[in-house]
Amino acid sequence: MFFERTYQAHIIQEELERSANTHHNQSKETGIVRLLRNKAIAYLVVFLETSSIHGLNHLVATGRHVFEILLWLTMVILSVFGSVYLSQTTWFRYQSSPTVVSMDRDMFAWNTTFPCVTICPHTRFDEKKLDVFVKTSTVENKTALESFIRKLANFTYRNFEDLPDSDLIDPNEYLKILVSLAAPFGPTLTIGASGINLKIQPTITEMGLCYAVNSKVAEYNSPAYRDANRWDDIKLQNDTFFVHPLDGEVFAQVINLSTAYDVYIHGPLEVPDISTKFQVSEQDFYMKIYVTALTVYTSPEAAKLTVAQRRCRFLHENVLKHNAVYTYTMCRMECRIRLCLKYCGCIPYFYRRIGDETICGVSGMRCLAEYKGQLYKLESGKNKKISCGCFPICDDVNYVIQSSVLQPWFLGTNLQWGIVTYPRMRYRRDIIFGFTDVLVAVGSMAGLFLGCSVLSFMEIVYFLTLRLFFYTHDAITK
């Protein structure tokens, strides 16, 4: 019995000691927390008293009534809000519209890019090649095959529904067959300037196989470039062909075309599409086109901005999946491709196929015919523009036809084009609101509302880093 009582007393004694230790530890922890809180408050008071930001010292000044402190706290909060709000507005302006388009009027201070032309002949195939192909084909109905190829060669967004009801050829072979059956195109090209060596470049467009002169991007859509499955940049041997007002009237001629044709006038860094305006010439006619140019170029300072800031793209800033370079018209073609895949699950043969995309057969083309208006104009059913996210190219040249003369010509089918009237102005895209202006505006807002400067912000950094370190060190050592 004595032993049991002694053992119980021992247990009670241990419980009392444990409770005392726990209470002591809790008191010790509470004291540490209280000490840290007091040190933090004291450090904050030091910052508010010594800061150069106006109004903060009134929050901790001695002898202030609570309503005075609330008044100054409200004023400081409103000032911070006003400064941040107006600074944010300034920053959004810098991100969205920091550029301006101004005019240069010294016409003798710059050169003008000579216009590029894309010629789409009406004769799409060689009759002899077509006859050989039909005869050697395994298709039993030769007449239907010939009719199918004739219609396919002239297939564009304007006549989706004209093809027959059945497929006679594998859709993946459409483009290859049409290129192999294309009529020879070997006219003579002459330039009214010395030292210029231009060539006629075959290129695949939404209008079929065409031929471009003085184009720097047509080769990216050439049959050879596509067949080689190339996606690299092409190093051009010739620079852009420029002319100057002192050069006088400069013309280029394509002689002995031997077929009727459509001709598109555009800049060398652009390509035509199905919605581009064109001129038509019948066979045995001489067409003379005289244009003037309107140039838009981007300054080196504006070129350093982001695409969203300057709202234009350079050739190498490519975001297109089906082309190796960027142009505004190619971006619109990419938009049509997305719509074709959305509406009918396939794309026309004249586009570059990537991945598992399907080339439209007859059924696919008839499906696209139902959406011909939307695809052609890139508009929805309610005449609302479809958002394609296409920016213009940063260095662009637009040409305005001043006169177009078409006259019968007994020596064949010829084309002449050139610049007669040189532009008296050009547009320059430049920075009007740069990053320095942002700093000045933000600094002005901070000075107006808070009376602070760069050194005031450095004080905040100083109190959060170096000063805090030494303050903590001194508190620990003491």
DSSP 8-state assignment for residue 192: S
Burial class (CB in 10 A: 0-12, 13-18, 19+), 63: exposed
Cα 156 to Cα 360: distance, rounded to the nearest angstrom: 12
At 338, give phi and psi (nearest 5°).
Answer: -60, -40
- Nearest alpha carbon to residue 388 among 263, 275, 268, 232: 275
Distances (CA, A) of 268 to 242, 345, 414: 11, 33, 21
- pLDDT at residue number 239: 62
Q: How far is CA 248 from CA 290, 402, 446, 456, in A?
A: 13, 16, 58, 63
The long-range contacts involving 317-325, CB below 8 angstroms and separated by at least 24 positions, are 321/354, 322/351, 322/352, 322/354, 323/220, 323/221, 323/352, 324/220, 324/230, 324/231, 324/232, 324/233, 325/217, 325/220, 325/233
Measure the CA–CA gap between 310 and 275, rounded to whole angstroms: 26
Per-residue model confidence as pLDDT tens for the chain (478 residues): 444 445 455 555 655 556 555 555 555 557 677 777 877 888 888 888 888 888 888 888 888 888 888 998 899 899 999 999 998 988 888 888 888 888 888 888 888 888 999 999 998 888 999 999 988 888 888 888 888 888 888 888 888 777 777 778 888 899 999 999 998 888 888 887 766 778 899 999 999 999 999 898 999 999 999 999 889 888 765 567 888 888 888 889 999 888 899 999 999 999 999 989 999 999 999 999 999 988 899 999 999 999 988 999 999 999 999 999 999 999 999 999 999 999 999 999 999 999 889 999 888 888 888 888 888 888 876 778 888 889 999 998 999 998 899 999 888 899 999 988 888 888 999 998 888 888 888 888 888 888 888 888 888 888 888 888 888 877 777 6
Q: What is the pLDDT of residues 393-440, one digit of tens each?
A: 999 899 999 889 999 988 889 999 998 888 888 899 999 888 888 888
Residue 247 burial by CB count (10 A; 0-12/13-18/19+): exposed, middle or buried? Answer: middle
Q: How many whole angstroms separate alpha carbon 401 and alpha carbon 397?
A: 13
- Residue 115: strand, helix, or coil: coil
- Identify whether the C-beta of residue 347 lies closer than 8 Å to the C-beta of residue 169: no
Distance CA(426)–CA(103), nearest Å, equals: 6
Report d(CA 334, CA 360) in Å as an integer: 16
Q: How many helices (H) and strands (E) does the chain have?
A: 14, 14
> Tens of pLDDT along 370-391?
888 888 888 876 778 888 889 9
User: Quick check: pTM over 0.75?
Assistant: yes
Instruction: Report pLDDT for 4.
Output: 47
| Residue 159 tokens, joined | 């006549």
- Least Cα distance to 313 among 162, 188, 429, 202 occurs for 429
* Spatial CA neighbour of 404 closest among 298, 283, 292: 292
